[in-house]
Structure 1
Amino acid sequence: MTTRTLRRWFVVHKWTSLVCTLFLLIVCVTGLPLLFSEQIWDTFVGDDDPPYEVLPPGTPNASLDVIVDKARALYPGQIITSVNPDDDEPAVLVSMAPSWQALKDDENYTDRHSGHWIKFDARTAKVLEQSRPTDAPKEPRTWTGIIMGICNRLHTSLFAYLPGRLFLGAMGGVFVASLVSGTVLYGRFMKRLPFGSVRTDRASRLTWLDLHNLLGTATLVWALVVGFTGFVNELQTPLFGLWRVTDVRQILRPYANLPVPSQDHLSSVQAAFDTAAKAAPGNEVTGLSFPGASFGSPVHYVLWTRGATPLRARLFTPVLVDARTGELTGAYPMPWYLRFLEISRPLHFGDYGGMPLKILWALLDVVVIGVLVSGLVLWAGKRKIATDARLRALGYDLDDAEGAPVSALTGEGAR
């Protein structure tokens, strides 16, 4: 590697690190509580649902048609918008609204929400809970909800919605560039020190440098994976938008101008679930949207299926079932870019291996915070020192000729 190339790598590492460090600190700090969001909610808020009825093991679930009929009986004249079995509990959530037009009109009023939901016991079809009436006073927010909401908004968009997401995605890309340049720059230097060495008997700057290099090396692969998958995740809005205006529009084009049929004349919801399960073998059906839903078909049930294993749990395949006849229209695997996006999510969130993996992710997150802080300390202590002086402090014996190759590391700098 020539002296000129080495200097360029140093400049790349310095500026990519400085540009993204503040935002990465925000993401790392807010990511810690989000890793354990379920446990935090259970501990500080709890679950106010009524207890489930104790039934013999193996009790089958009630037909979804029975649950749908009970929901309609509770709110005659209203429409059902979706039916979603719970992932973790024996429950089914039925969402309803006065009409599709009412939901569309809600978009013009920030404080208006016409939709509501009913939670049923999946085995007995008994009502467990209902959402608060739309005209009821809003339920006061808990401190847990406020803090977790702030962490989530900061972590995903810096309170800036889509521009914030795209900005954080760019910072993820800059972070990856920082890791690559740091590996190139410090790789040769670290070979001269036993792994884990921290020189505490010399200047404090060298101690910080060794800590920075050691922690960075220990978390390099994990940081690359989480940084790159974070970059990919922030692209979800434009990627899903691209899918809707290309593949989805083409699939639904033959049905775009058909009227939405009355829900009194639709085919069986339970049969639609069974049809979708057969159309996507190895997947589980997670929910159903009725004809007329946004981004859906005017005459189809849209059923979402996903992989049944932890690593495939975010790989979704939509299935269309004709709501008039109950016949399968087709299953449509997502395009490669959305499948890549969905595969990246478990790697980023660390939520596919239970609590042990979450704890490991949290520990690595703390170590990366240490890398960021030590990098800031090094920059603050040497920001007025020339690039060549810093490289020589690392142990590089620079040649004065611009294009000459860099000599081997000097013994003094490596000790």
Structure 2
Amino acid sequence: MNIRTAKRWFLWHKWTSLICTIFMLMLCITGLPLIFHEELDRLLEKQVVAEVPEGARKMSLDSLAILAGKQYPAEKIRYIFWDNDDKSKVIFDLAAKPDAPPEGSRYATLNAYTGAVLGKPTTDGIMDIILKIHMNMFLGIGGKLFLGLMGILFVIAIVSGVVLYGRIMKKYDFGMVRKYKSNRLKWLDTHNLIGIVTLTWASVVGLTGVINTLSDVIVALWQQGQLKEMVAPYANQQPLTGTLSSLDSAMATARKAAPHMEPGIVTYPGTMFSSKHHYAVFMRGNTALTSRLLMPALIDAKTGTLTDARTMPWYVNTLFLSEPLHFGDYGGMPLKIIWALFDLGTIIVLITGLYLWFARRRAASQQWSRLTEKAVYEDEE
């Protein structure tokens, strides 16, 4: 690599790092507690256990929906989903309108066996606030896309840093830290070493983070693509009126369409994940990997018959798989600890990068001052 090429890589690394470092530092700091969000949620929030009487059977979903509706008489159910850690809990999302924004949601958690109300989850706890900062800095889709851009710059900074480190290692041993030189050189070597150690993790988390920031775009593509094709026969029909068909019947129909899967989410007609004529039952697999992938089964909400059921497009599945990988949710506590250690290492890389930039500027400023003083002195002579 010649001097000109090396300088070009250095400038790429310098400016992409400078632009994204503060935001990546914020993401790493807020991401650290989010790695352990399940454990912290249990610690910070009162957990209500769904007690199951001996010999009890699950209540029908239609009966549970009636009980949930009584909690908010002015609202309508639009989503139903199940607690990941306790299948005895059923959570209902209610809002004034099916297409109301997420901020308009109210929740009711019921015991699937007794119908007892277990609580009304809130969305303003400390972990929810941290998650919103991490996702979009409270700036909606604009904040999401901005952080996605910062993620792209972060990946470019990683690539350019690897290229520069490879050039340095041609002259020195791998992992070298010049402890007895200047502080700036010591921190430069430390920055480079930890950066290489965390390289793979930072790349994976950076790329999955960029994908996650595109979630709204990906959902919109799915709505205008596959979902639109699936509901095309109903495009010219009037919206449903009157009583909808049985939820339990819709669930049974969805199970027949995907016998080796289980329901994950049920969406009502008129929501953004369905049509004005269908229940959408999103089925998921039973393994750690396939449980992250969803298959929508559309059930005519008037007749209870299956309209269509398809696997999601690759770009939606990529989103589904990237989110848990981003937070280290695939391998239990051991993987979470590894994720946390790499997160701390990346925080050190980001902080030392800022220190090196300020130290370089200070050294350049001091050198300029010395040259200026020397020039003045020579003029006086």
TM (norm. structure 1) is 0.78
Distance 2:335 2:13 in 1: 30
Secondary structure of 2:97's counterpart equals helix
Counterpart selection for 2:242 from 251, 262, 275: 262
Shift in Å, 1:51: 5.3
Unaligned 5+ runs, structure 2: 365-381
Q: Is the 8 A contact 1:83 1:93 kept in 2?
A: yes
Q: How does 1:318-333 map to 2 (within 5 A)?
A: 318-333=296-311
Alignment CA distance shift 1:209-1:271 (3 Å): same
In structure 1, the partner of 2:111 is: 121
Residue 206 of structure 1, CA deviation:
1.7
Shift of 1:20: 0.8
Aligned 8 A contact 2:208 2:325 in 1? yes
- Residue 304 of structure 2 is aligned to residue 310 of structure 1: no
Name structure 1 gaps, 5 residues minimum: 133-138, 387-415
For 1:103, which of 92, 97, 105 is the aligned residue? 97
Q: What SS does structure 2 have at the residue aligned with 1:93? A: strand
Q: Is the 8 A contact 1:268 1:326 kept in 2?
A: yes
Match of 1:350 among 312, 319, 328: 328
Equivalent residues in 2 for 1:212-223, closer than 5 Å: 212-223=191-202
Cα distance in structure 2, aligned partners of 1:21 and 1:77: 47
Question: Structure 2 CA distance, aligned partners of 1:75 and 1:158?
Answer: 30
Q: Which residue of 1 aligns with 2:339?
A: 361
The AA in structure 2 aligned to 1:293 is T
Cα separation, 2, equivalents of 1:11 and 1:117: 50
Q: Does residue 241 of structure 1 match 2:240?
A: no
Asked if the contact 1:83/1:287 (under 8 Å) is kept, the reply is yes
Q: What's the secondary structure of 1:309's corresponding residue?
A: coil
Larger CA deviation: 158-167 vs 208-217:
158-167
Structure 1 residues 44, 346: closer, same or farther in 2, change over 3 A? closer
- Counterpart CA distance in 2 for 1:274 and 1:196 is 59
**Cα contact 1:118–1:127 (8 A) shared by 2:** no
**Residue 11 in structure 1 maps to residue 11 in structure 2:** yes
Deviation by residue 1:386-405 (Cα, 9 ceiling, x = unmatched): 8xxxxxxxxxxxxxxxxxxx
Aligned length: 361
RMSD of aligned residue pairs (Cα, Å): 2.9
Partner of 2:264: helix, strand, or coil? Answer: strand
Alpha-carbon contact 2:262-2:283 (below 8 Å) kept: yes
**1:85, 1:93 within 8 Å by CA — same for their partners in 2?**
yes
In the TM superposition, 1:5-404 aligns within 5 A as 5-47=5-47, 49=48, 52-55=51-54, 60-68=57-65, 80-89=77-86, 90-96=88-94, 102-103=96-97, 116-124=106-114, 126-129=115-118, 131=120, 145=125, 147-256=126-235, 257-263=237-243, 266-383=244-361
How far has the Cα of 1:215 moved from its partner?
A: 0.1
CA distance in 1: counterparts of 2:347 and 2:263, whole angstroms: 39
Residues in 1 aligned to 2:97 and 2:74: alpha-carbon distance in whole angstroms: 15
1:253-294 superposed Cα distances (whole Å, 9 cap, x missing partner): 32133231422xx43322322322332354321122233334
Q: 1:308 to 1:13 in 2, by over 3 A?
A: same
Q: Give the secondary-structure state (helix, strand or coil) at the position aligned to 2:179.
A: coil
Q: How far does residue 38 in structure 1 lie from its aligned partner after superposition?
A: 2.2
Q: Could you say if the C-alpha distance between residues 80 and 165 of structure 1 is closer, same or farther in structure 2, counting changes exceeding 3 Å?
A: closer
- Alignment check: 8 A CA contact 2:280 2:299 kept: yes
Q: Percent identity?
A: 44
* Larger helix proportion of the pair: 2
Q: 1:26 to 1:80 in 2, by over 3 A?
A: closer
Letter of the 1:119 partner, please give it. Answer: T
Deviation at 1:179, TM superposition (A): 0.5
In 2: Cα distance, 1:341 partner to 1:75 partner: 33
- Partner secondary structure for residue 55 of structure 1: coil
User: In the alignment, is the contact (CA less than 8 A) between 1:311 and 1:346 conserved in 2?
Assistant: no
1:343 CA displacement:
1.9
| Cα 1:214/1:75, change in 2 over 3 Å | closer
| Alignment partners' CA distance in 2, 1:77 and 1:260 | 20
Query: How far does residue 382 in structure 1 lie from its aligned partner after superposition?
Result: 1.5
Question: Residue 271 and residue 163 in structure 1: after superposition, are their counterparts in 2 closer, same or farther (change >3 A)?
Answer: same
1:80-113: CA deviations, max 9, x gaps?
433333322212234456xxxx426976xx8xx5
CA contact (8 A) 2:266 2:279 kept: yes
